[in-house]
């Protein structure tokens, strides 16, 4: 039995999408628990703001994850100075609301690159020898309730997130030989910039309907940060290939 599961001192974690919303909240919480963080985002100013809220041993890395082929060099070079990682959290993501008849395939491609292909590329780099530490390494990917259920005008985002479930389960098996655990958190709606951005696409009843979709009401970014922290921590050392719904009951209805 142990009481120190939430002590992250000595642990190094890479967080993509750390500039905003759930990524920012996760960075603040893990830093509070003592982790050394490598904060990754495409938005330099918001990333600097997150960095200013974290411990002095944290660092940042600007990468545009829509450039799938550019990730490897930038991250590998950075890890040479930052050191090996205990955990990877892929939170960077973009929404795309569009009915089928106006769906733009270039935008679909961008959504897939950031939400999904980057999860594969980051996991590939993390799982290379000497990039991860051998004591309970953990990858946490992020999907959505729309990895499980459909909604209108959401084909690209839903595709990008349901694919994360397949990636999680396949990598959990493949990387078990290295003792790397791979899990996923599937959030319901959280009050972040992403929600503000898509809310404009809906009618005025939207907020009311959104609340009804969540028996426990809308979530906070911290609710997701806590789920991610569990999957990074030694408390979940026998958990791999799991999709953890943190959705206020959305997918139970």
Ligand X SMILES: NC(=O)c1ccc[n+]([C@@H]2O[C@H](COP(=O)([O-])OP(=O)(O)OC[C@H]3O[C@@H](n4cnc5c(N)ncnc54)[C@H](O)[C@@H]3O)[C@@H](O)[C@H]2O)c1
Q: Which residues bind ligand X (CB under 6 A)?
A: 17, 19-23, 41-43, 46, 63-66, 91-94, 114-115, 142, 144, 187, 189-190, 192-195
Residues with Cβ within 8 Å of 217's Cβ and at least 6 positions away in sequence, in order, are 211, 248
CB of residue 71 to ligand X, shortest distance in Å: 9
Which residue's CB is nearer to ligand X, number 51 or number 190?
190
Q: What is the distance between the alpha carbons of residues 41 and 46, in angstroms, rounded to a whole number? A: 8
Contact 12, 36 (CB under 8 A): yes
Q: Which one, 23 or 227, has the nearer CB to ligand X?
A: 23
157 is an active site residue: yes
- Spatial distance between the Cα atoms of 39 and 62, rounded to a whole number of angstroms: 8
Burial of 77 (0-12, 13-18, 19+ CB in 10 A): exposed
Helix (H) or strand (E) holding 164: helix 155-174
Q: Is 21 left (phi over 0), alpha (psi -120 to 50) or beta?
A: left
Closest residue by Cα to residue 186 from 136, 252, 128, 100: 252
CB 141, min distance to ligand X, A = 9
Nearer to ligand X among residue 86 and residue 121 (C-beta): 121
Q: What strand order describes the sheet that includes 243-246?
A: 59-62, 36-41, 12-16, 87-90, 138-142, 181-187, 243-246
Q: How far is the CB of 46 from ligand X (least distance, A)?
A: 6
Marked catalytic residue, from 29, 96, 146, 157: 157
The CB-of-4 to ligand X minimum distance in angstroms stands at 28
Nearer residue to ligand X within complex by CB, 68 or 136 = 68
Catalytic residues: 157
């Amino acid at each position: 039995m142990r009481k120190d599961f939430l002590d992250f001192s000595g642990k190094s974690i890479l967080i993509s999408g750390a500039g905003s919303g759930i990524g920012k909240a996760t960075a603040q919480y893990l830093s509070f628990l003592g982790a050394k963080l490598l904060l990754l985002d495409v938005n330099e100013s918001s990333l600097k703001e997150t960095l200013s809220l974290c411990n002095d041993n944290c660092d940042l890395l600007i990468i545009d994850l829509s450039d799938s082929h550019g990730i490897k060099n930038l991250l590998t070079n950075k890890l040479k100075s930052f050191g090996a990682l205990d955990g990877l959290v892929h939170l960077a993501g973009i929404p795309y609301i569009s009915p089928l008849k106006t769906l733009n395939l270039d935008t679909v491609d961008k959504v897939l690159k950031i939400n999904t292909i980057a999860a594969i590329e980051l996991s590939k780099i993390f799982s290379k020898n000497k990039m991860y530490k051998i004591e309970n390494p953990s990858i946490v990917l992020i999907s959505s309730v729309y990895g499980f259920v459909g909604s209108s005008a959401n084909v690209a985002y839903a595709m990008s997130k349901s694919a994360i479930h397949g990636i999680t389960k396949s990598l959990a098996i493949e990387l078990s030989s290295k003792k790397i655990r791979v899990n996923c958190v599937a959030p319901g709606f959280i009050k972040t910039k992403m929600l503000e951005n898509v809310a404009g696409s809906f009618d005025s009843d939207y907020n009311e309907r959104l609340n009804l979709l969540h028996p426990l009401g809308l979530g906070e970014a911290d609710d997701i940060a806590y789920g991610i922290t569990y999957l990074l921590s030694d408390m979940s050392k026998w958990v791999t290939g799991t999709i953890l719904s943190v959705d206020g009951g959305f997918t139970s209805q």
